[in-house]
Structure 1
């Protein structure tokens, strides 16, 4: 990892000098499927979506890519985040822990007209459309530009914007991220590095997930000393249009849009059924209900969690008739529904 001091004396990182994410080649959709099912760490596939019409339009020009997207848009307002030129594309907290960007609603032609007007300007405002459902907001775009993912029930999202820096975060679903226009840099970290990334609030976030408070371009190692350990485990993927990155569930990733106009399409899916719910919801509730208990009570609840959740051995149910184990038996859609209704009643008291 290379560092240097900028004009203010801050330590500046050369993220591109990190070890690269391994690359693989795939012959067809079946091989991609096998590699993703077997992978426990990220990998890059060069040229996976190089034949997409959107990629071809973007290679001609950013304006051609925007025109292509406009031809497929549905006539409805889009949610867009707008930051000032002083942020350097970093959509993050401000000094008061509010957000350093505004969220607005506008039609795609209006948004693209603003991008047209500022493209190439120094310190141009940041304009960013994040996690837009391709099938809801566009007509025929997904059908013409997609990766066949077999029986996965994947959500296809599109991310469109000027130069951006998105703080390191993770996602519960597995993720296949495909660069359609421009260039992207992903800096990735294993799941267990969360403590070394100095995460911010879980309930007040720029985009729904807790993010690293470290400025990756100018890390403050006096304030965040453990970030050095995170960097020792980091890898980087520099992606051109047509390239793709696979990330397993819960891997941390810092994402940069490097060109003046960037488009990414990603697919999220779970290998577990959706009716099992979101683990983050359980963690959030545990913080509210358990974290501030006296130490002896917390120790007891830790033992209960181990017994019922993390170990979940035969001793949990062996003494209960098989037909009477309810939610202690392997979960089904029916018992999950009953548990969800039980929780909603309990939380509404």
Structure 2
């Protein structure tokens, strides 16, 4: 299993420069250990809830509720035509109180609040628990629940996760492990992103034999309150909450904003347009994609006059409008 870098920034203000330079996962022990939020969580679960409620404005949040038998694994149902959880919308205060109550239950169900805007749900909390990343213009979200297992998935943005309560076990896989992760449907997913179908807690190597190769490339991090972890764009990550109440705050940002559209849409269109072609034609298209999209030679378009390179280089507004119109027209046909 690969070793991972561990870094303690000299000053919080220098964090942005470090994040912009990293291309591999990096562990930052106790990066947010002095946050009032973390200090409250170290006192007790009740102190954590009381601290959060000090910012609560009565906003309702989306929750996932799972039977105890699912052991916190957010996944599909047994027939693969639905999911193993129910979605609910609850006042944030109610969700917190239910988490406190579930601690006393012998076989508690799982309750999970994910990807909730901190500024919308708890206005003012970020100011008391600052993260000097303004230059990156990140989106800060919170995730809180009892024991949970979130299947390996990737996100397009870069990600800094900060554990503020409980314990998290994070297992990362490099992007090139996609063929060994046995990824499920692209269009029918528990929470937006396609997920690995392998149960990391009990992998079935007969059904998923190549997953052994993914495990050889995996990086595993154990995070406690105050610890942070940088997850680069497109790295697959499985996240396990291990305590009766676990919370993290994460920051998402795009290192480079796409010129237009979402990269996933390009993948979907390519699957529809090329997936059914004969192999020799798909190989020909692969050569074109390698040249136009993934080519590394900066001079590969030098033979074309600059005024006629269009989307082959950073397009101006007129070119962008032209090609957006072309794409829109082609999708309507």
Q: What TM-score comes out, normalization by structure 2 length?
A: 0.92
Instruction: Indicate which of 96, 114, 136 corresponds to 1:130.
Output: 114
Q: Residue in 2 aligned with 1:283?
A: 267
The answer on 1:234 being equivalent to 2:227 is: no
Residue 113 (structure 1) aligned to one of 97, 101, 106: 97
Tell me if the contact between 2:58 and 2:93 (Cα under 8 Å) persists in the aligned partners: no
Task: Name the structure 2 match of 1:292.
Answer: 276
> How far, CA to CA, are the matches of 2:316 and 2:253 in structure 1?
19
Is residue 45–residue 245 contact of structure 1 (8 Å, CA) maintained in 2?
yes
**Residues 314 and 69 (structure 1), Cα distance of their counterparts in 2 relative to 1, 3 Å cut:** same
Residue 31 of structure 2: which of 48, 68, 80 is its match?
Answer: 48
Deviations 1:256-304 (A, max 9, x none): 1111001100111111124443222111111111111223332332233
Quote how far apart the aligned CAs of 1:112 are. 1.9
Secondary structure at 2:65 match in 1: strand
Choose 135-144 or 274-283, whichever is displaced more: 274-283
Flag the 1:334–1:114 CA change in 2: closer, same or farther, 3 A: farther
Task: Tell me the C-alpha RMSD between the 2 structures.
Answer: 2.0
Alignment-derived partner of residue 240 in structure 2: 256
Query: Cα distance, 1:317 vs. partner?
Result: 6.5
Preserved contact between residue 181 and residue 210 of structure 2 (Cα < 8 Å) = yes
Query: 1:202: Cα distance to partner?
Result: 1.1
1:148 Cα deviation from its structure 2 partner: 0.7
Q: In the TM superposition, what is the alpha-carbon distance from 1:316 to its structure 2 partner?
A: 4.4
In 1, Cα distance between equivalents of 2:130 and 2:177: 32
Query: Against the structure 1 CA distance between its residues 113 and 333, is the aligned structure 2 distance closer, same or farther, given a 3 Å change threshold?
Result: farther
Say yes or no: does 1:103 pair with 2:87.
yes
Matched residue of 2:293: which SS? Answer: helix
Counterpart of 1:189 (choices 144, 157, 173) is: 173
Partner of 1:301: 285
Q: Secondary structure at the match of 2:135?
A: coil
Q: Kindly indicate whether the alpha-carbon contact (under 8 Å) linking 1:317 and 1:328 is maintained by their aligned counterparts in 2.
A: no
Partner of 2:143: 159
- Segment drifting more, 271-280 vs 217-226: 271-280
Shift of 1:315: 5.2
Are 1:318 and 2:303 matched, yes or no?
A: yes
1:141 Cα deviation after fit: 1.5
2 CA distance for matches of 1:120 and 1:258?
Answer: 16
TM-score, normalised via structure 1 length? 0.88
* CA displacement, residues 94-121 of structure 1 (integer Å, 9 cap, x when unaligned): 1111210011111112222222221142
Map of 2:73 onto structure 1: 90
CA distance in 2, matches of 1:145, 1:337: 42
- Of stretches 60-69 and 155-164 in structure 1, the one that deviates more from structure 2 is 60-69
1:193 and 1:153 map into 2 onto residues whose CA distance is: 30
- Displacement of 1:185: 0.7
Distance 1:330 1:189 in 2: 31
Deviation at 1:322, TM superposition (A): 2.8
Q: Which runs of 5+ in 2 are unaligned?
A: none
State the number of aligned residues: 331
